[in-house]
Structure 1
Amino acid sequence: MALGSLLSKLAGGGAAPTIEHDDFCRVVADKSCAIVDVREPHEYGAGHVPGAKNMPLSSFDPTKLPKGDVVLICQAGGRSAKALAQAQGAGRKDLRHYAPGTGGWRASGGAVE
């Protein structure tokens, strides 16, 4: 299921801008949208969700996000929530963040590269 479909499904209920674990697993598996890791390069280099691109929060520019649907991730959800707020402030509406972060992804058995 594409993130756009997930966003449509969630939009009606005023849901928080997060993506649930099962939906995130589908996004990772089918590469249906961009995944942006906002951790610092040394953290990203130590292991990241397959296919994720690095855009550290310390130099985050929402205008440089990929076009289309994007999921933001960090270590535990705090930085991705901040990046999400910045991007929403810049007018982006096609974003979610994965609140459990890379730590939660790993704890749930998710692979890293």
Structure 2
Amino acid sequence: MADKYDLTPQSVLTDLRAGEILLIDVREPAEFANERIHGALLHPLSTFEPKALPTDGNRRIVFQCGSGKRSRMALNNFMKETGVEAAHLAGGIAAWKSARQPCIRLDPATGAIVDKGDY
């Protein structure tokens, strides 16, 4: 069920471009290395510490994962522990790619970084 904490890929991209959000990728390091959204910072859910994230009020924190499940868990945990409102990318990087938004990935054949567009 969608709510005010579920953001669309387009709204996340718009806010990233405007410098209004801090995008936190809660996937594991190998997932992040293979494919990621420009500007995302890695804070894996397996070692997630909500109070370690900056909450200065300048940028809204938005969580992101592969499908939206882990990012929603991180969001709920973060808001419970810090009392700070945040959001997450509904559908994760899968929704992001379906919406044809730019991402960085590794070419599995060569190991080279492939930049899929600027944001």
Q: Same fold (TM over 0.5)?
A: yes
Kindly name which structure, 1 or 2, has the bigger radius of gyration based on alpha carbons. Answer: 2
TM range (shorter): 0.7 to 0.9
TM-fit CA distance, 1:41 = 0.4
Q: Is the 8 A contact 2:51 2:82 kept in 1?
A: no
The Cα RMSD (Å) is 1.4
Report the counterpart of residue 101 of structure 2 in structure 1.
110
User: 1:89 is paired with a residue of what secondary structure?
Assistant: helix
TM-score (norm 2): 0.76
TM-fit CA distance, 1:106 = 1.1
TM-fit CA distance, 1:24 = 1.1
TM-fit CA distance, 1:89 = 1.1
1:96-107 correspondence to structure 2 within 5 Å:
96-107=87-98
| Counterpart check, 1:24 vs 2:18 | no
Structure with bigger helix share is 1
Structure with bigger strand share is 2
- What are structure 2's unaligned runs of at least 5 residues? 105-119
TM-fit CA distance, 1:23 = 1.5
- What are structure 1's unaligned runs of at least 5 residues? 1-14
TM-score (norm 1): 0.80
TM-fit CA distance, 1:101 = 0.5
Report the counterpart of residue 111 of structure 2 in structure 1.
none
Identity of aligned residues (%): 27
Report the counterpart of residue 66 of structure 2 in structure 1.
75
Deviations 1:21-47 (A, max 9, x none): 331120122222210000000000111
Report the counterpart of residue 23 of structure 2 in structure 1.
35
Aligned length: 99
TM-fit CA distance, 1:52 = 0.3
Q: Which amino acid aligns with 1:61?
A: E
Q: Which amino acid aligns with 2:84?
A: K
Report the counterpart of residue 80 of structure 2 in structure 1.
89
Report the counterpart of residue 107 of structure 2 in structure 1.
none
TM-fit CA distance, 1:97 = 0.4
| Counterpart check, 1:44 vs 2:35 | no
TM-fit CA distance, 1:82 = 0.4
